[in-house]
Chain A
Amino acid sequence: MSGGWQRLDRRMLVPSLTALSLPVLGMLFALTLAGWQVTTGVGVTAIVMASVLVAFLMVAVAHSVRYFTTRYQISDERVELRSGLVSRTHRSIPRARVRSVDLTSGPLHRLLGLSVVKVGTGRQIKDADKDELEFHAVSQRQAAVALRQELLHRTENAGDVRVIATLDRRWLRYAPLTLSTVAVVYGVVGGVTERVVEAAPSLPWLFIQWVAGFLSVSIVLAVLIVLAGGAFLIGLVVSAVQYVEGWWGFRLEREHGDTLLVTRGLITTRSVTLEERRIRGVEIAEPLLVRWARGARTKVVATGVKSTRESRNQDALLPPATRAAAHQVAAAVLREPADPTRTPLITHPRVALRRRLVRAAAGWLVAVLISLVLPVFSTTLPSWLPWIVAVLGTPVAVLFGIDAYRNLGHGLSGKYLVTRSGTAVRRTVALRRSGVIGWRVRRSPFQRRAGLCTVIATTAAGKCAYRIRDVRLTDGLAFAEEAAPGILTDFLSSGGKSADRRRSVANAGH
């Protein structure tokens, strides 16, 4: 491996090109559906086809250029990657700074035995791409595994592997409950069904009529039931399929006593490495449905691990699983006897409950207003819809508000600062107190009037900012000073006093 400039695998050209074939095929499919008889004439069709072909060629050329111009080298000191024809880039990372080597193989990559390798330094900077080398792609067996072994483990003893967790079949019952996609699906189904209803009488229409007869309800209600039921069912199926695809063969291992390795995936396989010294804490996330089924997922809070929607599950240590398993893995990863997120937390002042109820009421009002406006656009909706929304929505809003308040909490547990909030997704974060590198105290006008604040711990890991929402100002500042001493000390002795004065003036005004 070491020494000499090497090339990417020649077979990388195949998956790159097939990625493009999808829009072309879709286009051909659409044209076939239209019977190749575009009303504006053959000329337009020819132009469209030609431009698709040109786009195809351009991408083909770009990928070929990438293949022919990319060279990489791993020497004793650095990893280097050169690429580009017109604007050449030469990137190099000192080997001592390599913190992660992540492999991803799509279905075609797997057929061809290829892997996309990302070598990262784990620094959390805005332009993360600049601190990352992407090998797109190299042969799986020789280069990918060798790259990982060689870059992460300077020593040869690869024997020491301890499995922390593997996929438990019983967790599959949480698969349908990870309904994150349901809103999207609902939109699609809703749009399709509307077309279908317009084209009545047809098969779905007969089905709706059957439902209406079976449940002895009006046609309009039957449409609503079928829509909601259909979206829910499709949501269940989609999330179950996603769970199985993403988490099949899941393993969490500790290698060489200092690196965590997550491998998973049915069709696309992914492997993510994480040096333990980057870990700053854990997060237990409980989406509403999963929470009701007594499940949870464990995520890691570590530097250089993005926790955004685009970096799909890069920070996941465990699929949605039983709460006990989630806490067990969290404790094992942190090397603590018990998961700090389990410690009893301090409840927040009652004013915080009022704020949550007000917010829930605002949500209720928006829903009622929408249901009032909707019939203007759609004649199929019944006139009593706003009433149903208003009546059924009231207890739901109140329950959500109370749940949101009950989920608020913060506390200290040994080396960790723990904070919890959220309803749709309840998140409990245990952040290492030594990892707190600053404090922010935020106050909205309403919070200022109620004497509350949101204390935000800034850190170099994960989301970079972890909030303790709606605590009393003095309590929040005292907690921050206790959790990570020294940062606010001078502020509390000077600035804090003037803040108190401002507050007392505000109180006098009442």
Chain B
Amino acid sequence: MAALAALIEPARTGLLVALAAVVIIVGAGYLIVMPQWRYRVHRWETTADAVYIASGWIWQEWHAAPMTRIQTVDTVRGPLQQLFRLAGVTVTTASAAGAITIQGLDRQVAADLALQLTEITQATPGDAT
């Protein structure tokens, strides 16, 4: 930002500083509010028949997928999740709009969950469409 300011005529630096201030304030607000809000909304549950999840923050969504329609179960670990010993579990159905992702589980919980879901879905016949 500073390098950019030096390149632009001096009269505009005031404007740039104001812009930077706005970006920093909005960004900081986002960083403080969003993760906590998401954490409070995010819930998951599996029963014998279906997987449920609640997610989002400003726009919130509940999502249900029945066990009989689950096609794949993946565990996903990004570099940051690795660092905190976390993992996500993604459950996909035959619908392109039907993927469910449970984020930020303890690595062991995620592995157990994935195993459990895979066993249940393998026992179900049919192509799940």
Cross-chain contact B128 with A495 (CB below 8 angstroms): no
Write the B42-58 contact mask toward A (1 if CB under 8 angstroms, else 0): 01010101101010001
Instruction: Tell me the bound Cα distance from A445 to B61 in angstroms.
Output: 11
Q: Are B59 and A458 interface neighbours, CB within 8 A?
A: no
A16 sits at the interface (CB 8 A): no
Nearest chain B CB to A320's CB is how many angstroms away? 27
Is B63 interfacial (CB-CB < 8 Å)? yes
- The residue from B52, B58, B69 contacting A437, defined by CB atoms under 8 A apart: B69
Partner of A460 from the list B59, B64, B94 (CB cut-off 8 Å) is B94
A197 proximal to B (CB < 8 A): no
Considering the complex, which residues of chain A in the window 448-484 have a beta carbon less than 8 Å from any beta carbon of chain B? 448, 456, 458-461, 463-465
Chain A residues with CB under 8 Å of B45's CB are: 490-491, 494-495
Decide if B101 is an interface residue (CB 8 Å cutoff).
no
- Chain A residues in 8 Å Cβ range of B54: 495
Q: Is the CB of B93 within 8 A of A437?
A: yes
* Residue pair A460, B61 in contact (C-beta under 8 Å): no
- Measured between beta carbons, the chain B residues less than 8 angstroms from A465 are 95, 97
Residues of A near B111 (CB, < 8 A) are none
Chain B residues within 8 Å of A448, by CB: 60
Q: Do the beta carbons of B96 and A124 come within 8 Å of each other? A: yes
A379 within 8 A of B: no
Can you name the residue of chain A whose Cβ is closest to the Cβ of B46?
A490
Q: Which residues of chain A from 34 to 76 have a CB within 8 Å of any chain B CB?
A: none
Give the one of B47, B54, B63, B64 with max A CB within 10 A.
Answer: B64
Assess whether A335 is interfacial by the CB under 8 Å rule: no
Q: Which residue of A lies closest to B62 (CB)?
A: A441
Q: Is the CB of A303 within 8 A of B50?
A: no
Inter-chain contacts of B52 with A (CB < 8 A): 490-491, 495
CB neighbours of A491 from chain B (8 A): 45, 50, 52, 62, 64
Q: Closest residue of chain B to A459, judged by CB?
A: B95
Asked if B104 is at the interface of the complex by the 8 Å CB criterion, the answer is no
Q: Is B63 touching A124 in the complex (CB atoms < 8 A)?
A: no
A439 to B41, CA, bound (A): 18
A488 touches B64 (CB 8 A): yes
The size of the chain A interface, using a CB distance under 8 A, is 32
- Beta-carbon contact of B49 and A303 below 8 Å: no
Q: Indicate the member of B58, B59, B128, B129 with the most A CB atoms within 10 Å.
A: B129
User: How many angstroms between the C-alpha atoms of A460 and B96 in the bound complex?
Assistant: 7
Is the pair A458, B61 in contact by a Cβ cutoff of 8 Å?
no
Docked complex Cα distance between A435 and B98 (Å):
13
Render B17-52 as a binary contact track against A, CB cut-off 8 A, 1 for contact.
000000000000000000000000001010101101
Complex contact B63–A464 (CB within 8 A): no
B65 on interface, CB distance cutoff 8 Å: yes
- Knowing A442-B59, A444-B59, A448-B60 are in contact, say whether A489-B49 is a contact too (CB < 8 A): yes
CA distance A506 to B64 in the complex (A): 24
Of all chain B residues, which has the CB nearest A126? B96
Given A438-B64, A438-B65, A490-B49, does the pair A443, B96 have CB atoms closer than 8 Å?
Answer: no
A443 to B63, CA, bound (A): 12
Expressed in whole angstroms, the Cα–Cα distance for A494 and B95 within the complex equals 26
Write the chain B residue with the least CB distance to A277: B129
Residue of B52, B69, B97 contacting most chain A CB atoms (<10 Å): B97
Q: Does A191 lie at the interface of the complex (its beta carbon under 8 Å from any beta carbon of B)?
A: no
Task: Flag whether A487 is at the interface (Cβ < 8 A).
Answer: yes
Do B47 and A458 touch across chains, with their CB atoms under 8 A apart?
Answer: no
Most B CB contacts (10 A, CB to CB) among A458, A464, A495 go to A458
Cα–Cα, bound, A488→B66 (Å) = 8
A460: B residues at CB distance < 8 A: 93-95, 128-129
Given contacts A460-B93, A464-B96, A487-B65, 12 further A-B contacts (CB under 8 A): A124-B94, A303-B94, A437-B98, A438-B63, A438-B65, A443-B59, A448-B60, A464-B98, A487-B49, A487-B50, A491-B64, A495-B43
Residue pairs across A and B with Cβ atoms less than 8 A apart, 6 shown, are A437-B98, A438-B69, A439-B63, A439-B64, A444-B58, A460-B95
- The 3 closest A-B CB pairs, nearest first, are A460-B94, A465-B97, A437-B69
